[in-house]
């Protein structure tokens, strides 16, 4: 009877569910932690674009802190922020946009001031054959060219909008995708001739898409802030993890993946 709401209702409760799922993992995922002593679990909520780099940093952290397990909850920054403001038990929050971070600090759920630990900028992603012959940002306004962008509501879309406005390039997109991965899917399948994605995403999809740098991307650089969550169950570990991300090791991993130093 209520089948028709299957997209709408779960979508609304998505944030809560992911938060609960993460909490559930933290509680039951590790048998030893339930004993009270022994190992500890650090829970990190991080933007989806940090999946590869943070997973690597998590391993580094675990080997430096024996008995500590790092659990990640990767997702859209907005749903993660919603999870935190609704009480999901996270220790660290790493967001892909200052605006999203602001919802957490405004709700009083951040411990201290968020620090920008890395930055990301846009590139033009084109199919390997580049049959649309795209070379610069202005080419995206060519009629007949199928361009996909992120929706203005999601961070990559906001960044694209900003960059296009700064360059005074008008683009009539074929689609406003819900996230970067969706843009990459369409470009890599050659359904779209070009898309604007983060440099890190293009790098991760190397081989399937070609990345074209453009100077106007400097106008829409994305800052990634990180903060300890106020009610962090693992206060000390949270601080140490943030130090690792901000330190030289963190920087090396991040720049290796295509991020820029702040």
Partner 1 sequence: MSRSGRPPWFLLLPALAGLAFLVLPLAGLLARAPWSTLGTRLGQGQVLEALRLSLLSATVSTGVCLLLGVPLAWVLARASFPGLRLVRALVTVPLVLPPVVGGVALLLALGRRGLVGEWLDSAFGITLPFTTAAVVLAETFVAMPFLVISVEGALRAADLRYEEAAATLGAGRWTIFRRVTLPLVAPGVAAGAVLCWARALGEFGATITFAGNFPGRTQTMPLAVYLALQDDPQAAIVLSLVLLAVSVAVLAALRDRWVET
Residue 39 or residue 51: which is nearer to partner 1 going by CB?
Answer: 51
* Residue 153 makes contact with partner 1 by CB under 8 A: yes
- Give the dihedral of Cα atoms 104, 237, 262, 134; nearest 10 deg: -80
Say whether 95 counts as a known binding-site residue. Answer: no
**Does the protein bind partner 1 through residue 207 (CB under 8 A)?**
no
* Stretch touching partner 1 by CB under 8 A, among 73-81, 116-124, 230-238, 248-256: 73-81
Selected from 18, 43, 82, 234, the binder of partner 1 by CB under 8 A is 82
- Is 13 near partner 1 (CB under 8 A)? yes
**Is the CB of 5 or the CB of 243 nearer to partner 1?**
5
Residue 11 makes contact with partner 1 by CB under 8 A:
yes
63 marked ligand binding residue:
no
Q: Pick from 25, 174, 212, 246 the residue near partner 1 by CB under 8 A.
A: 174
What whole-number distance in Å separates Cα of residue 138 and Cα of residue 136?
6
User: Binding-site residue total for partner 1 (CB under 8 A)?
Assistant: 35
Q: Which of residues 210-249 bind partner 1 (CB under 8 A)?
A: none
Neighbours of 28 (CB within 10 A): 10
Q: 85-107 in b/e burial notation, b at 16+ Cβ within 10 A?
A: beebbbbbbbbbbeebbebbbee
For position 83 contacting partner 1 by CB under 8 A, the verdict is no
Minimal distance, residue 10 CB to partner 1, in Å:
8
Residue showing tokens 């990301």: 120
Among 75, 76, 83, 132, binds partner 1 (CB under 8 A): 76
Lookup: tokens for 166: 């700064």
Task: Based on the shown chain and the rule CB under 8 A, indicate whether residue 173 belongs to the binding site for partner 1.
Answer: yes
Give the residues lining the site for partner 1 (CB under 8 A). Answer: 1-9, 11-15, 76, 78-79, 82, 146, 148, 151, 153-154, 173-178, 182, 185-186, 189-191
Residues annotated in the binding site, as ranges? 49, 77, 180, 198
């Amino acid at each position: 009877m209520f089948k028709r709401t299957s997209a709408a209702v779960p979508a609304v409760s998505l944030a809560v569910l992911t938060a609960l799922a993460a909490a559930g993992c933290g509680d039951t995922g590790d048998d030893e932690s339930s004993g009270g002593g022994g190992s500890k679990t650090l829970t990190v909520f991080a933007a989806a674009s940090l999946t590869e780099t943070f997973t690597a940093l998590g391993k580094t952290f675990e080997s430096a802190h024996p008995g500590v397990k790092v659990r990640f909850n990767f997702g859209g920054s907005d749903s993660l922020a919603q999870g935190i403001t609704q009480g999901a038990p996270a220790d660290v929050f790493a967001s892909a946009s200052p605006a999203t971070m602001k919802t957490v600090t405004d709700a009083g759920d951040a411990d201290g001031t968020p620090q920008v630990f890395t930055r990301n900028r846009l590139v033009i992603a084109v199919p390997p054959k580049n049959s649309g012959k795209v070379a610069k940002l202005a080419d995206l306004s060519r009629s007949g060219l199928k361009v996909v962008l992120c929706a203005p509501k999601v961070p990559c879309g906001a960044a694209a909008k900003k960059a296009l406005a700064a360059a005074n390039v008008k683009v009539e997109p074929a689609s406003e995708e819900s996230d970067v991965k969706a843009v990459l899917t369409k470009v890599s399948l050659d359904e779209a001739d070009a898309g604007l994605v983060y440099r890190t995403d293009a790098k991760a999809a190397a081989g399937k898409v070609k990345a074209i740098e453009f100077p106007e991307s400097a106008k829409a650089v994305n800052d990634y802030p990180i903060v300890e969550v106020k009610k962090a169950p693992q206060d000390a570990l949270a601080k140490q993890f943030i130090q690792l991300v901000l330190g030289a090791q963190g920087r090396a991993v991040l720049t290796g993946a295509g991020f820029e130093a702040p």
